[in-house]
Amino acid sequence: MKAETNAQEVLDAGLVPQLPADRMRQTILGRMKTMREEKGYDRVQSLQALYPHTVYERDTLEVLTASLLSGNHVLLLGPPGSGKTTLAKEIWDLFPKEVFAVADCPVHDDPFSLIDPVYAEIVPPCPYCKANHGGLALDELGSFDPERIKAKDIPVQQVRLREGFGHARVQGSPEVFPDNLTGSINLARLEELGDPTSPLVLEPGKVLQAHRGILFVDEVGKLPRGTQNVLLQALQEGIATPAKSRETFPASLIAVTTSNVRDLANITEPLNDRLANVHTPYPETSASNRKIVDIGLRREGGLLHVAGPFRDATVELVMEWRKRMEQTGDLSEVGSNRTLIDIPKRARSYALMSAADRIDPEDFRRGALDAMEGRIRARSEDGFDENRRLVKAFLEKYWRDAAKRGAEDYWCRFFVGELKEDKAEGVRVVQALRQALGTNGHDPQKVQSLLRSEGGDARVRRFGKWVQETEGLDREQVAMALGGVFHALDSLGAFDEA
């Protein structure tokens, strides 16, 4: 269809009214069908592909997707740094953006709200559309009748939903007031224009900005009760009343909210009742946590490569912290997904400051200390100092063992997957790597010659190919990285038994 048209042509094209939940459901099912038929994905693979930049276990993704398919508003509930905000962004990325809207409407009214009596009961048109297209005076808006509207007289344009028009974000805090959600009527502009039906007098709040799309409320439990009640009205009735106005506006949307577990009690019971709880715990498996590290580092191409053994060491260290804190729940933020990503970044920064071409264990230790201390929330001075001592004591006791386990895990994947647990061959590979990379690992050209099919070293080449595939590197990158991978394995103790 044309980008600029009218409501009659929309009808003639066979389009039907759809709520945001309907459009989300259609998109999810369509994508899963495509992935199943064209790529051979099973259900779990399809679910993971819907949210490609987040890492959650199967149950979390199934509950979330079932909630969206059911037309529910959702509450992503989990510990700090568990990826809730990133997941909310993924939901918005998934949502279909192209819609037809009444051309001159300040809230992108659906043309079906003006011409379809059944749909108008569910999603009523805004007061401006009632007045401007229904030929009604301000005091007659209650008598609006869609059956009197001529569809060909309703100007329609195709628009792409974006921030402020179909998508809005609210950061929960005590300073978010009801009119931040509802918006208000600009009385100065009203006096200037003298026309209460002009779209220019409305200053839409976040709820009206999200009409026909998604409203994201981060840390919803931090909203004041009055603001939560306004949000409840929008979710329950699909309407909002701007400040200084007697008229209601449509608020047809999907709400995606987040909360830390400790703030759950601050969410009012009626509002919580409208939200489908989706628990977002930290991933339980090493593989899932390693994927978080890889995703976080993938966004920073061109910098010094963080060798896989240090990535696995990060996973072991953070999972050890989570296990130690599991009983008390204290300082859970220190073991967050953000810490997983920050530790290798900080370790790399220390190596870069030394003009080194690879990370060493001391870089890793200092990076871990910085990243974990940096996640301690400011409480009282005494409490903060005590928590710092707790983090330092943990690292002094566990960092070396955790790092060694991570390096051993990395080597074992090669040893089991490629060498089929052949210990004698494993020793020969280690010897070949030590001989070839112990002195030349810093020189990419020499490493490149070792990896060649002719004149190179078969065992070094075999390990290099595995590293290339495992870490997603090209030939040039693996020549740059292989010395650092060997150095990490050797210095962290992965070869001690060999």
pLDDT surpassing 70 at residue 302: no
Model confidence pLDDT, tens digit, residues 324-348:
887 666 687 899 999 999 999 999 9
Owning domain of residue 138: 4-278
Q: How confident is the model at residue 188 (pLDDT cuts 50, 70, 90)?
A: confident
Q: Considering the entire predicted model, what is its pTM?
A: 0.89
Q: Which pLDDT score is estimated for 325? A: 83
- The arithmetic mean of pLDDT across residues 297-311, rounded, is 86
- How many other C-beta atoms can be found within 10 angstroms of the C-beta atom of residue 324? 16
Residues 273 and 337 in one domain: no
Residues 123 and 243 in one domain: yes
- The arithmetic mean of pLDDT across residues 185-197, rounded, is 73
Residues 385 and 401 in one domain: yes
Residues 172 and 248 in one domain: yes
Closest CA to 464 of 422, 412, 498, 414: 414
Residues 172 and 251 in one domain: yes
Structural domains counted in the chain: 2
In a domain, 179, yes or no: yes
In a domain, 159, yes or no: yes
- The arithmetic mean of pLDDT across residues 145-163, rounded, is 95
- The arithmetic mean of pLDDT across residues 98-106, rounded, is 94
Residues 257 and 298 in one domain: no
Residues 179 and 209 in one domain: yes
In a domain, 359, yes or no: yes
| Residues 6+ away with beta carbon under 8 Å from 349 | 367
In a domain, 9, yes or no: yes
SS3 sequence of the chain: CCCEEEHHHHHHCCCCCCCHHHHHHHHHHHHHHHHHHHHCCCHHHHHHHHCCCCCCCHHHHHHHHHHHHCCCEEEEECCCCCCHHHHHHHHHHHCCCEEEEECCCCCCCCCHHHHCHHHHHHCCCCHHHHHHHHCCCHHHHHHCCHHHCCHHHCEEEEEECEECEEEEEEECCCCCCHHHHHEEECHHHHHHHCCCCCHHHEEECHHHHCCCCEEEEECHHHCCHHHHHHHHHHHHHCEECCECCCCCEECCCEEEEEECHHHHHHCCHHHHHCEEEEECCCCCCHHHHHHHHHHHHHCCCCCCCCCHHHHHHHHHHHHHHHHHHCCCCCCHHHHCHHHHHHHHHHHHHHHHHCCCCCCCHHHHHHHHHHHHHCCCCCCCHHHHHHHHHHHHHHHHHHHHHHHHHHHHHHHHHHHHHCCCCCHHHHHHHHHHHHHHHHHHCCCHHHHHHHHCCCCCCHHHHHHHHHHHHHHCCCHHHHHHHHHHHHHHHHHHCCCCCC
Residues 300 and 359 in one domain: yes
Model confidence pLDDT, tens digit, residues 447-456:
888 888 776 7
More confident residue, 120 or 140: 120
Residues 293 and 258 in one domain: no
Residues 153 and 290 in one domain: no
More confident residue, 436 or 238: 238
Residues 242 and 340 in one domain: no
pLDDT surpassing 60 at residue 294: yes
Model confidence pLDDT, tens digit, residues 400-420:
999 999 999 999 999 999 999
Residues 290 and 272 in one domain: no
In a domain, 497, yes or no: no
In a domain, 162, yes or no: yes
Report the CATH number that the domain containing residue 221 is assigned in CATH: 3.40.50.300
In a domain, 145, yes or no: yes
Residue listed under structure tokens 């009055």:
226
Given 278, 295, 322, the domain boundary residue is 278
Q: How confident is the model at residue 440 (pLDDT cuts 50, 70, 90)?
A: low
Q: Which tokens belong to 119?
A: 């749909």
